[in-house]
Amino acid sequence: MITFRWFGERDPIPLAYIRQIPAVRGIVGALFDIPVGEAWTLERVAALREQVEEHGMTLEVIESVPVHEDIKLGRATRDRFIDTYCESIRNIGRAGIRVLCYNFMPVFYWTRTDLERRLLDGSTALAYDDGALRKIDLSRGTSDLPGWATAYSASALEALLSAYREIGEEKLWENFAYFLQRVVPVAAAARVKLALHPDDPPWSIFGLPRIITSKAALERVIGIADDPANGVTFCAGSLAADAANDLAEIIRSIGGKGRIHFAHCRNIKRTGVRSFEETAHPSDQGDVDMRAVLAALHEIGFDGPIRSDHGRMIWGEVGQPGYGLHDRALGAMYLYGLWEGLTG
């Protein structure tokens, strides 16, 4: 199913507009006002589902329930936060939502250094450059970060960065395994598929450890808890930022074991070492062979939700960078056409 991300009432794109995209019948949503670490109630999740259904679509994926930093750091308080995470999973299952996309990135979620990179066709897109990232001054907290959603004061951010300097990649893996071993049985009982999103970009930023970056890492993830509920979100754009990642091979390896539960299909163009810009979705616009990606998904029998992920800002549209209506709608139709051609 082709899906579309919706940011709730704060989204300038109403559900009524999304419903008019011929390919889209599923919504990817979340409850953005609930503080990290608090449980999502059944009433709130069910109300979101009903709101989507009133517009003739289904709530297919929750993206996402954030993982508290104390869990990632392995602090003494983590069990309390894991318990509330488990309660959120149960309520998502009770509401009939079957996929939960989440991530385990320390401090920062997806990161870009430019929210309005001007492309050759005149559109603007999200972009990342490692050199530009190194010039960002974190001494004033997150105020200098382009588009960063979570606000940290200078002191709070420095405390988090300092804490992560003490743990390194292997300790982060240990903390992730501790989390997975406790939430996967709950997800399995609730009939919820956990879909871990790869780190974006797939390398360390600001000296923080990042571990979900490659085929080997994703294989390690599904090996920690050998249960179909423990799966991944295959994100073409995130993984393709590292040219060493063979997307079709990753799909066959992880998806061949039935562990790809959600697919983000966007294109990027690598512009240098650890530098890229997002592009239109068709294969010839970037470095992702989108037909090969969808062909590999079809080959392994994938039947889960697919979304066009980010898009450019085109035709004068003004809105949340990466999440305008027009280019994501074009991307959704492109993916739908490819999928129809592959599946007959």
Q: Supply the residues annotated as catalytic.
A: 197, 235, 264, 309-310, 323
**What DSSP string describes 87-111?**
HHHHHHHHTT--EEEE---SS-SS-
Q: What is the DSSP letter of 254?
A: I
CA distances (Å), 3 to each of 58, 62, 196, 247, 282, in order? 9, 12, 17, 21, 17
Pairing of strands 114-118, 124-129: antiparallel
Strand partners, 196: 102, 232
Residue 127 phi/psi, 5-degree rounding, is -150, 160
Rounded CA separation 53/115 (Å): 32
127 close to 114: Cβ distance less than 8 angstroms: yes
Rounded CA separation 256/267 (Å): 23
Pairing of strands 124-129, 275-278: antiparallel
**3-state DSSP percent of the chain in helix, strand and coil, to 5:** 40, 15, 45
Cis omega before residue 64 (within 30°)? Answer: yes
Residues in Cβ contact with 267 at an 8 Å cutoff, skipping those fewer than 6 apart: 236, 237, 240, 278, 279, 280, 281, 282, 283, 285, 286, 287, 288, 290
Helices 326-343 and 290-299: angle between axes, nearest 10 degrees: 50
215 close to 243: Cβ distance less than 8 angstroms: no
Helices 168-190 and 215-224: angle between axes, nearest 10 degrees: 50
